[in-house]
Chains A and B, each alone.
Chain A
Amino acid sequence: MAEKARDIMEIDFHTVHPETTIAEAVRTFKQASVHRKQRVFGLVVTDERDQLVGMLSLYDIMLLMRPKNIHIWGEMNDIDVTGFIEEACRRARSILVGDVMTADVITISPDTHLLTIVDIMIKKHIRRLPVVERSKVIGMVYTSNIFYELMERLLSGS
């Protein structure tokens, strides 16, 4: 019976480096989604020694592309905004992962209990947690992993 992070973590995961451009990172997002047969919204960022230095999520990229004062302009139905999205994409492409990633990453160990993982995910509104052992990322636990494990347990008990 799965009880700990090591029992449910995915060991096959994609990473990017801080010097990777956003354009390349988005390509990696796409590849990871195809590989996992599920949409991936976050990637681990590692340095040249494969040590965890951050996480890059879709939210980080959306923050980058979001115009700073968009909330002031309201619905903007009196402004012709043709080309804005293309321009935002053009500017975002060459930005580096290291400039937008989240550097303060919450991690778990291979022996972290599933319910502790649930608690962390709920409290911190996190959907993915890197599993770290001796400073290296050895796996990823996604909310879907937790959900499917709990689902199996719920069904097996009924």
Chain B
Amino acid sequence: MSIVDLRSPLDVLTVREAMQRLRCYLDRNASIQQGIRHTLKYKINSILIFGERNDAIGVVSKTNILGAYYVGLPIATPLNAIMVSPPLTCRLNDSLDSALDMMRNRSVHRLYVFGDEPNKVVGVLTYPDILGMLYRYCHKCERSTLRLAESGSTGKLSDYFRVCELMNPVFQVHREDESLMQVMDSISAHHSGAVLIKSHDDLPQGVVSTTDLIIAYMHGIPSYTAAKTIMSTPVLSCDYDEPLLMVIKKMIFFDLDNLYVYKDRSTNIVGLVTLSDVARVRSGSCRACKTSRIDLDD
């Protein structure tokens, strides 16, 4: 096959093939509390908001909910008070490449999908959905980095990729007696999903994620409360030298988007590895294909 015939899966695949059907949405007058319950129940990061004419008018994300918590809005406040409007959309037959472009340009990880009927949202396309779809194609491609790594050897994926190759050495840390408000400041400023909580003698004690924070909001815990009150323990982590497959297993097992990395001993946290990075590497996308460069943060 000549080079000109090789097209990236991003150009060939459409939004229709990668998206998930819309199964969770709320009315504009639903409360923040209902919004939190929906994000927890459906394990999603944002909810589409519908108006009186059954049209999609906005989106409420966990970040918006954290903002409400930060400023002290009552939990019964209607979602339309905190939603972002209008929702960003694409169409069923758009290519994944154009969808990714829009995500990059607008700094979002999610687009809602219009169906064949005018202005009717039928699904949602997230960045992880695209990664999962690409796995299926890149994995079978003759240029897959996994295939090249394995050729002529009996090695497997786990032999060729280690956590240290992907981890990000930059992550947020807070002391256990710092307030939830300080943690929220940090999460917002650094666009991170979680912070590591350490004791005064610098030992990792737990993690506070956006999910932990919105649960605290739902339970009426004041934002001046110490982080240690709501942190998740223990700190789930993997070894610096651990094979990638073990990381994947932990992420699936524990429903994680991020995993801390330790070196030499479990109390020495040195970095963070994200779901997106792991999934991208696992897909085996080779450098010749623009699929390998689908990092949203570039």
Contacts and interface: CB of A to CB of B under 8 A. Distances in A.
B129 A73 contact: no
B221 interface: no
Contacts of A78: 156-157, 245
A8 interface: no
Contacts of B279: 72-73
Nearest to B45: A68
A74 B132 contact: yes
A71 B20 contact: yes
Interface residues of B, number: 26
Interface stretch (A24-32, A59-67, A144-152): A59-67
Interface string A68-105: 11111111101111001001000000000001100110
Given A69-B275, A74-B132, A79 B245 contact: yes
A79 B248 contact: yes
Nearest to B130: A72
Among the interface residues A60, A71, A76, which one has the most CB atoms of the partner chain B within 10 A?
A71
Contact of A67 (B20, B132, B255): B255
B251 interface: yes
Contacts, number: 60
Contacts of A79: 245, 248-249, 252
A69 B249 CA distance: 11
Nearest to A104: B34
A84 B252 contact: yes
How many chain A residues sit at the interface, stated as a range, is 20 to 34
B37 interface: yes
Interface in B113-142: 128-129, 131-132, 135-136, 139
A72 B255 contact: no
Contacts of A76: 252
A87 B136 contact: no
Contacts of B43: 63, 66, 68
Contacts of A74: 132, 135-136, 139
Nearest to A83: B253
Counting chain B CB atoms within 10 Å of each CB, which of A69, A71, A80, A81 scores highest? A69
B129 A87 contact: no
B9 to A, nearest CB: 13
Contacts of A67: 252-253, 255
B275 A72 contact: yes
Given A78-B157, A100-B41, A72 B249 contact: no
A69 B40 contact: no
A36 B46 CA distance: 39
Interface in B31-62: 34, 37, 40-43
B131 A72 contact: yes
Interface of B: 20, 34, 37, 40-43, 128-129, 131-132, 135-136, 139, 156-157, 245, 248-249, 251-253, 255, 257, 275, 279
27 contacts: A63-B42, A63-B43, A64-B41, A67-B252, A67-B253, A67-B255, A69-B128, A69-B252, A71-B129, A71-B132, A72-B128, A72-B279, A73-B132, A73-B252, A74-B135, A74-B139, A75-B136, A78-B156, A78-B157, A79-B249, A80-B245, A80-B249, A81-B249, A84-B253, A87-B253, A103-B34, A103-B37
Interface of A: 60, 63-64, 66-76, 78-81, 84, 87, 99-100, 103-104
